[in-house]
Amino acid sequence: MQENDIAKTIKSLAEELRPELVRVRRHLHENPELSYQEFETSAFLRRHLQKAKLEVRTDYAETGAVGILRGRQEHPVVAIRGDIDALPIEEKTGLPFASKHPGVMHACGHDLHAAAALGAGLILARLRERLPGTVKIILQPGEEKNPGGAAVMIRNGVLKDPDVDVIFGLHSDPRFRAGEMGYKPGMMMAEPDEFYLTIRGKSGHGSAPHLTVDPVVIAAEVVLALQKIPSRMIDPYEHVVVTVGKIAGGYTTNVIPDTVELVGTVRTFRRGLAEEIERLMRRIVSGITAAYGAEFDLRFEYGYPPLINDEKITEFVADRGREYFGEPHCHLIERPSFGGEDFAFYLQHVKGCFFRLGTGNPEKGISAYWHNSAYTVDEDALPAGAGFLAYLAVKYMETHANQ
């Protein structure tokens, strides 16, 4: 088949599958499950894989699933990953298929990611006899929560038997429209670490603060001091974010509490820098608490590694994007994001590319950013994402068969 014929065939199959992809996405959106609790989500997706006659395996993670599609030969092996977990957010979209589960919603597009990865598998299943290789559809749990479902599945052998040669993944992006994509060679996303700090003082009556060690005041000073790390203690040419996302402590108006808890995140683009920031945090908090006669406990949890796309594979993805979507609809992303992604674990083991799929549409009122209670996607992105993932798999297999 000629290149344009392959693209046309896949686009036609993607459009044919559009109603099913919409049903899948809406079912997932209506029935979201938190990280590592995706039992019904996984079972639902497995049924679709089995219906398409993919070999289904569930031994890589308790709530994960992998569909294996074997073509004319074993290699090359192309993996396509879709994450499936939701977030602890109360949905406020007003959609007719809004979440049925209070306090849980797909606010990051994982419902679309899973449907697109599944859709790629359904498209490729119809082209099975033409495939000069093997495809693994990885439907992965726990992307939103350390240690990351990718790390769990890799540890349990998801990239083996047969060994994966390349992996592709996508993420919804409201900055681009459906039918557009964004790509970033090399460093694309940050290392997202977490810290949990407890300041222990001495409680007492609010009218007699001199008889207490007030952890609220100490916490306020700590929050301000931590902001000096990126602005005054780290080389300005480095890229660092230190954010306190939660402060909890106290009981009522006239009681100074014993403890205050602070929870936050540190974002960097290399592990060594994160380790230096942990040392600085301990020094700062130790000094402030000692000055006021308080004590502290600090737990620093290292998260996913930075996401670094393979340069050549990203060039391949960009070239295929121009063929599939058209030159004007493929966008080079100039700067890396401070967001984190456990797809980074896969890229430590195999070549691959993580790219952005356009899902925004201001005319339809679809513009909210990720982790927002109003987040949703333009469903025109479903056939676009499924089709492009399938196209990447076919073109990579054709290019690397018999190598």
pLDDT, position 90: 98
313 alpha-carbon distance from chain centroid: 20
Torsion sign (Cα): 277, 283, 287, 289: positive
pLDDT, position 102: 97
81 pLDDT exceeds 70?
yes
Instruction: Average the pLDDT over 14-31 and give the result.
Output: 98
The boundaries of every CATH 3.30.70.360 domain in the chain are 191-301
Q: What is the pLDDT of residues 309-355, one digit of tens each?
A: 999 999 999 999 999 999 999 999 999 999 999 999 999 999 999 99
d(CA 264, CA 249): 15
The boundaries of every CATH 3.40.630.10 domain in the chain are 3-189+306-400
SS3 label, residue 377: coil
Report the top-level CATH class of 191-301: alpha beta
pLDDT, position 402: 76
Q: CATH number of the domain at 3-189+306-400, please? A: 3.40.630.10
Q: What is the pLDDT of residues 210-220, one digit of tens each?
A: 999 999 999 99
Q: What is the pLDDT of residues 153-200, one digit of tens each?
A: 999 999 999 999 999 999 999 999 999 999 999 999 999 999 999 999
pLDDT, position 401: 85
Phi, psi at 48, each rounded to 5°:
-70, -40
d(CA 362, CA 175): 10
307's enclosing H/E stretch is strand 307-309
Q: Are 356 and 343 in contact (CB under 8 A)?
A: no
d(CA 68, CA 50): 10
d(CA 180, CA 333): 12
Residues 6+ apart with CB under 8 A from 123: 10, 13, 14, 17, 386, 387, 390
SS3 label, residue 213: strand
Q: Predicted confidence band at 233 (pLDDT cuts at 50, 70, 90)? A: very high
Q: What is the pLDDT of residues 54-70, one digit of tens each?
A: 999 999 999 999 999 99
